[in-house]
Structure 1
Amino acid sequence: MEIIDYKSFAADCIEELKVLQSQFSEKFDVTHANWFYNQATGLLTFSSDNTELNFKYFEVGSFSPKSETWMWSWHNDYTLENVKETARQIKDFGARVNFAKLTEGYFPSDEFEAWEFAAIATKLTNGIGVYRPVNDDGLQIFLVLTEFIDNQLARRIKNKYIQCGTHAYGRIAFVCQHLNFTTKVGFEESFETFEGMELSDDDDFQAWCDDCEAVRVAEDGWNDKAMEFVKIKVVCEGCYFKMKELNLGTK
């Protein structure tokens, strides 16, 4: 087991974060910008007038001034896996050096300590800065920014997601007009899928029913006639796998 003095280590991380925050402010002016972070895309966006800045991020955790408690993101069931996976590195580090507060999910804390946790997370993951949005309930959410993303790439990432009335915000999926949530009609896919899987930039979730598969085979592919029969509709990833589970009994 590594032996490290926690107070000294945390203090050093705070000082390093101060330098990073200063460098970040010099390079990116987000002082008066509107902010929006999206767990599904893993992007934090700052916008003002005609300027937009996008950053990849992961969520460290949250501090509640009301209850004076800290919760690590990996302990929060309401935080999506893709933005809390990296935070487990801090938990693993805490286990190696026996820092209990880096391994316990939820406990009494204060704002200064919350900044220490964010600073430690930034150091261990080579982050480029920390942003702390505050929600309507006063909850302070600590995000470590990991990478600046140009607007063209950010648009490509965002365009792969859709707002859904049932599942909020999720990745886009394409299904035939006959797939639904109540009646089994078969479920054919362009490749084997599972919920939450990584997709390449060129791949999408795509599925169609048995009748559409019969037409595709008869037409020797997706020609105009087959596509007219399919009449593709757009759904979110959650809806896609709900349809798959109905038809195949599996996610």
Structure 2
Amino acid sequence: MTEEEFEAFVDAAHDELHDKQQALADRHGIGKFARWWFDQNIGRLQFFDADDRLALEAEVIEAGSYSPRSNTWMWAWANPSLLAPLRERASRLRALEELTGYEIFGRDHAFEIEDEAMAWELAAIAVKHLGAMGCYRAPSSKQDGPRTFFALMGLHRRP
């Protein structure tokens, strides 16, 4: 991709993610649940209501994580703290390097980025590439702790 084509690709990914995020909030209440939990063993993101009942479960591919403390991003496929099957699912994102011609998509270590807005851009590109329904940015329990970005691949309401 030329730089101009890449910028158009990023803009399209950003606009698509905005629309997808709005749909997720409107139709499924993403962003309004009392708490969330990611179970690495089953590779599912779970959302709980105010009564601590499982309300929604999501099939996900972890895209990556952003550290506000160091302004760094790490692709999930390169993250040794993830179980191997989860890294393997995320490895589809490595194709972005060849698709775009930008080596940022093939870095196998944490690397510096501008800010969390750029982390959202990377997540938007991942969502577009994966054909995901949208993204969930899992907050950290610490103010400057890492934020994990999950591409939502499927949603299941729980009774």
Using the aligned pairs only, state the percent identity.
29
Does 1:149 find its partner at 2:152?
A: no
Instruction: Give the distance between the partners of 2:83 and 2:7, measured in 1 at CA.
Output: 31
RMSD: 1.9
1:114 counterpart (119, 123, 128)? 119
Instruction: Give the distance between the partners of 1:79 and 1:17, measured in 2 at CA.
Output: 25
In proportion to residue count, which structure has more helix? 2
Over 3 Å counting, the alpha-carbon distance change for 1:27 and 1:67 in structure 2 is: same
Which residue of 2 is the match for residue 41 of structure 1?
42
What's the CA shift for 1:100? 1.4
Which residue of 2 is the match for residue 242 of structure 1?
none
Instruction: Give the distance between the partners of 2:92 and 2:8, measured in 1 at CA.
Output: 20
Instruction: Give the distance between the partners of 1:24 and 1:54, measured in 2 at CA.
Output: 13
Asked if the contact 1:40–1:82 (Cα under 8 Å) also holds between the matched residues in 2, the reply is no
Which residue of 2 is the match for residue 99 of structure 1?
102
1:62 counterpart (57, 65, 73)? 65
User: Could you say what secondary structure the match of 2:69 adopts?
Assistant: coil
Q: TM-score, normalised by structure 1?
A: 0.56
Does 1:74 find its partner at 2:77?
A: yes
Instruction: Give the distance between the partners of 2:42 and 2:54, measured in 1 at CA.
Output: 20
Residue 97 of structure 1 aligns with an amino acid whose one-letter code is T
4+ residue stretches of structure 1 with deviation over 6 A? none
Larger CA Rg, structure 1 vs 2: 1
Task: Map Cα deviations across residues 102-137 of structure 1 (whole Å, 9 max, x no partner).
Answer: 111321012111111111111111111111112234
Q: How many residues align?
A: 151
Which residue of 1 is the match for residue 134 of structure 2?
129
Asked if the contact 1:57–1:83 (Cα under 8 Å) also holds between the matched residues in 2, the reply is no
What's the CA shift for 1:38? 1.0
Asked if the contact 1:87–1:121 (Cα under 8 Å) also holds between the matched residues in 2, the reply is no
Q: TM-score, normalised by structure 2?
A: 0.86
Over 3 Å counting, the alpha-carbon distance change for 1:34 and 1:130 in structure 2 is: same
The structure whose RCO (Cα within 8 Å, separation 6+) is larger is 2
Task: Map Cα deviations across residues 33-66 of structure 1 (whole Å, 9 max, x no partner).
Answer: 2111111111111111256111111111111010
In the alignment, structure 1 segments of 5+ residues that lack a partner are: 153-251
In the alignment, structure 2 segments of 5+ residues that lack a partner are: none
Instruction: Give the distance between the partners of 2:54 and 2:75, measured in 1 at CA.
Output: 32
Over 3 Å counting, the alpha-carbon distance change for 1:43 and 1:51 in structure 2 is: closer
Which residue of 2 is the match for residue 87 of structure 1?
90
